[in-house]
């Protein structure tokens, strides 16, 4: 199916709990570019290699619908900070994240910037790390939460910050403390360098109990509709 670049604004989030089956992975790797295969070979840990291959496989599968070509023919380019785009096109906007068993990809038409991040919900964040990435107000908010909510809330806060920094394309080159969150009607609201920009929207995406997924969107025309789906790999095993 070819998807038009001019279709109405919308955000498609695909979440994939990929298998660790080597046969599946050997099939996915066939969709990757020679550069991606070289990079996959450099990972020291099998888990990290699997995560990278699954991420690029899903990304290529999704983008191939926009450029009407086979996943292996999609040409991805990375800028000097590592942010990917489709060669020669600034649309659709997309973002990719991996976290130990889960790949999350957001693809958007009709918005200026998008960033997605996922982390394991049980990630343990040390106090010294919290001090490094939280503002005083964020720290106070975390400290006032019931003990059983605090650890997950700290991961959510981190994931929201990283999604924003990925959307603007700098990643962790910028101090996550420069992006601060407060809550309005239970929704996260960001300020960057102390300023709120009303073109930005942030959401935590329902993704089950094991992972936290956060989305950052910059859109002049309001937050486009968000559609989340669980990706199922329907490609045929090779004999
Ligand atoms: C971008 C960054 C925040 C991703 O963090 P992460 O939690 O390790 O990885 P995620 O799975 O969430 O995201 C990985 C994807 O982010 C994307 N990405 C990489 N750099 C990016 C950037 N500057 N902006 C937006 N997206 C970026 C890529 O698509 C990458 O996918 P790939 O691994 O298949 O290439 C982090 O790698 C970063 O800040 N890199 C730049 C600075 C740096 O290298 N610092 C060293 C560590 S402090």
Q: What is the pLDDT of residues 125-176, one digit of tens each?
A: 999 999 999 999 999 999 999 988 999 999 999 999 999 999 999 999 999 9
Residue 8: predicted pLDDT? 54
Mean pLDDT (whole number) for 28-41 = 97
Mutate to test the pocket of ligand 1, among 172, 177, 216, 218 (most ligand atoms within 8 A of CB): 172
Mean pLDDT (whole number) for 26-34 = 96
Mutate to test the pocket of ligand 1, among 33, 104, 171 (most ligand atoms within 8 A of CB): 171
Residue 230: predicted pLDDT? 96
Longest dimension (CA), the chain: 57
Q: Which domains does the chain have, with CATH numbers?
A: 11-230 (3.90.470.20)
Q: Which of 5-9, 173-177, 211-215 has the lowest mean pLDDT?
A: 5-9
In sequence order, what are the residues at sequence separation of 6 or more whose Cβ sits closer than 8 angstroms to the Cβ of residue 53? 25, 28, 29, 32, 36, 40
Residue 1: pLDDT band with limits 50, 70, 90? very low
143 HSE (CA, 13 A, CB side): 10
Residue 3: predicted pLDDT? 46
Q: pTM value?
A: 0.94
**Closest ligand 1 atom to Cα of 118:** 12
Residue 109: predicted pLDDT? 87
DSSP class of residue 49?
Answer: H
Cα(33)–Cα(177) distance, integer angstroms: 36
**Closest ligand 1 atom to Cα of 173:** 42
In the predicted model, is pLDDT for residue 7 greater than 70? no
CA quadruple 40, 43, 47, 49: dihedral, nearest 10: 0
- Mean pLDDT (the chain) is 93
In the predicted model, is pLDDT for residue 4 greater than 60? no
Tens-digit pLDDT profile for residues 164-209:
999 999 999 999 999 999 999 999 999 999 999 999 999 999 998 8
Residue 99: predicted pLDDT? 92
**238 C-alpha to ligand 1 centroid (Å):** 31
């Amino acid at each position: 199916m070819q998807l038009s670049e001019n279709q109405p604004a919308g955000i498609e989030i695909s979440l994939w709990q990929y298998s660790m089956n080597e046969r599946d992975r050997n099939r996915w790797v066939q969709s990757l570019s020679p550069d991606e295969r070289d990079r996959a070979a450099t990972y020291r840990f099998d888990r990290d290699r699997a995560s990278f291959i699954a991420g690029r496989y899903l990304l290529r599968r999704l983008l191939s619908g926009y450029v009407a070509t086979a996943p292996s023919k999609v040409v991805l380019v990375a800028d000097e900070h590592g942010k990917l785009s489709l060669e020669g096109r600034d649309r659709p906007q997309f973002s990719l994240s991996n976290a130990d068993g889960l790949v999350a990809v957001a693809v958007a038409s009709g918005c200026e910037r998008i960033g997605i991040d996922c982390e394991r919900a049980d990630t343990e964040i040390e106090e010294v790390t919290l001090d490094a990435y939280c503002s005083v107000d964020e720290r106070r908010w975390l400290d006032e939460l019931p003990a059983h909510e605090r650890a997950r809330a700290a991961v959510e806060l981190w994931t929201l910050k990283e999604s924003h920094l990925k959307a603007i394309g700098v990643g962790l080159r910028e101090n996550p403390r420069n992006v601060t969150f407060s809550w309005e009607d239970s929704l996260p609201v960001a300020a960057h360098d102390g300023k709120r920009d009303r073109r930005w929207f942030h959401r935590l995406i329902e993704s089950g109990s094991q992972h936290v997924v956060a989305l950052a969107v910059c859109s002049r025309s309001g937050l486009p509709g968000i559609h989340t789906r669980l990706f199922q790999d329907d490609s045929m095993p090779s004999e």
